[in-house]
Amino acid sequence: MSNYSDPDWAPQTKVDLQAYNTLSLPVQADYFSDLCQLSDLYAAHQFCHDQQLNWLLLGGGSNIVLTDDFNGLVMHMALAGKAWLTPDQLHHRPAQNRDDLVYLCIGAGENWDQLVAWSLAQGAYGLQNLSLIPGLVGAAPIQNIGAYGVELAHILHEVMVFDFVTGEEFCLTAEQCELGYRDSIFKRHPHWIVMSVTLVLSRHPHIHIGYGDIAAYLEQVLDGPATQATPQQVRDAVIHIRSTKLPDPSRIPNVGSFFKNPLVTANKAQQLREKWPDLVAYPQPNKQVKLAAGWLIDQLGWRGYMKAGVGVHGKQALVLVLESTTANKMTGLTLLKLAQEIQADVEQHFAISLAVEPRLFGKVGEIQMEHI
């Protein structure tokens, strides 16, 4: 439990958050602080408690939409550090010690993609498919980041948490994080702050190339079968493929996929396929079927749409974008209005309701799409 008050700690006031969100939305925070060390976190906690302030934690700002100036303290996660842990240094000891596994504890403020590159250079494998996902390590468990058939759940060991309401610190096992598709226990406990994440990686260079275009790309560039690719070559392939399909937020403001891929029953998928034979659908282990939200949106002609500085990316209908020249005059609400139009269109034509993937924040805290 923290009971800490640092007399030298003071937040900045009236800070523009444009550089802290990948949509480049120019909202202002009443108070702002980088969390560079644990004492900053404890002091910020005390400050919000004493002043009865609203608060909001940002990582890389690549999965949030800000609709208004923030009336409270915005904290930017910057806790750094990487440490190799032996099994007896873990909070939760593994059931069996395996020589091929390595445990890596990483500060929540480390950059995710830099971590992926670093881990491969150290000969610790498992993160290569998650290359080039923007954002910081601390946000990775929040929506169980995933790409190309791998998700954080496959390589997470434990997570160190600070409860911003009680000031308590505790460590969750990967299982206790309740990781699901773009989901975790952290969405149900938004006052839990991730301080560090411990991953379990392998010394064996296993690769997963069965998803998307990875194998086809590797066949092209390698002088041999794709199965012989190294983890670094898989990372290079993922970076190449992502760079050709997804807009770089530093040039085109966006938050990646705006909608989650909907899960429907096998019956529903079959009904849709009768009308739309090219339906993109992935059967799930629980007999549900995951549909490609981007494909649904694409069928309705939204890809490449652009009006008044807000639109849909020309190469990927799942990504909503802002025009870079006008983003600094926009509010997140304009983007959310477009998202609502797309949701209504998909509902009307496919009888499917699309859920929004990024988290939405208004003047005093998180808001829900239904209340916009």
Ligand X SMILES: Cc1cc2nc3c(=O)[nH]c(=O)nc-3n(C[C@H](O)[C@H](O)[C@H](O)COP(=O)(O)OP(=O)(O)OC[C@H]3O[C@@H](n4cnc5c(N)ncnc54)[C@H](O)[C@@H]3O)c2cc1C
Residue whose entry in the numeric block shows the structure tokens 């994080």: 177
Q: Which lies closer to ligand X via its Cβ, residue 64 or residue 73?
A: 64
Contact set for ligand X, span 181-220 (CB under 6 A): 186, 193-194
Helical segments of 10-92, H only: 38-51
Tokens of 143: 């929506």
Stretch that binds ligand X, among 6-14, 141-149, 327-335, 348-356 (CB under 6 A): 141-149
Q: Is 168 a catalytic residue?
A: no
**Interface pick for ligand X out of 24, 143, 299, 334 (rule CB under 6 A):** 143
Return d(Cα 68, Cα 91) in angstroms, integer: 40
The helix/strand/coil state of 14 is strand
Q: Which lies closer to ligand X via its Cβ, residue 80 or residue 147?
A: 147
291 binds ligand X (CB under 6 A): no
- CA 361 from chain centre, in angstroms, equals 16
Contact set for ligand X, span 62-91 (CB under 6 A): 62-64, 77
**Strands 70-77, 28-35: parallel, antiparallel or unpaired by DSSP?**
parallel
142 binds ligand X (CB under 6 A): yes
Q: Is 219 a catalytic residue?
A: no
Q: Which H or E element spans position 344?
A: helix 332-350
Residues 10-29: x/- map of binding to ligand X (CB under 6 A)?
Answer: ------------x-------
Contact set for ligand X, span 341-360 (CB under 6 A): 359
156 binds ligand X (CB under 6 A): no
Please give the span between the terminal C-alpha atoms of the chain, in angstroms, as a whole number. 37
CB burial class (10 A; 0-12, 13-18, 19+) of residue 212? middle
Q: Is 366 a catalytic residue?
A: no
Please name every residue paired with 84 in a beta bridge, in sequence order, or none if there are none: 104
135 binds ligand X (CB under 6 A): yes
How many residues of this chain bind ligand X (CB under 6 A)? Answer: 32
Please name every residue paired with 31 in a beta bridge, in sequence order, or none if there are none: 13, 73
CB burial class (10 A; 0-12, 13-18, 19+) of residue 348? exposed
**Interface pick for ligand X out of 11, 107, 231, 249 (rule CB under 6 A):** 249
155 binds ligand X (CB under 6 A): no
Q: Which lies closer to ligand X via its Cβ, residue 164 or residue 350?
A: 164
Residue whose entry in the numeric block shows the structure tokens 């069996």: 96
**Which of 24, 119, 151, 182 is the catalytic position?**
182
Q: At what angle do helices 214-221 and 231-245 cross, to 10 degrees?
A: 110
Stretch that binds ligand X, among 137-145, 222-230, 309-317, 328-336 (CB under 6 A): 137-145
User: Residues 281, 268: contact at Cβ < 8 Å?
Assistant: no
Residues 45-64: x/- map of binding to ligand X (CB under 6 A)?
Answer: ------------xxxxxxxx
Q: Which lies closer to ligand X via its Cβ, residue 147 or residue 222?
A: 147
Tokens of 110: 């480390």
Residue whose entry in the numeric block shows the structure tokens 């995951």: 290
Stretch that binds ligand X, among 216-224, 229-237, 250-258, 307-315 (CB under 6 A): 250-258
293 binds ligand X (CB under 6 A): no
Q: Which lies closer to ligand X via its Cβ, residue 11 or residue 135?
A: 135
Angle at Cα 158 formed by Cα 153 and Cα 163, nearest 5°? 110
* Minimum separation from the CB atom of position 251 to ligand X (A): 11
DSSP state of 356: B
- Contacts to ligand X by CB under 6 A: 22, 57-64, 77, 108, 133-136, 138-140, 142-143, 145-147, 186, 193-194, 246, 249, 254-256, 359
Q: Which residues are catalytic?
A: 182, 257, 357
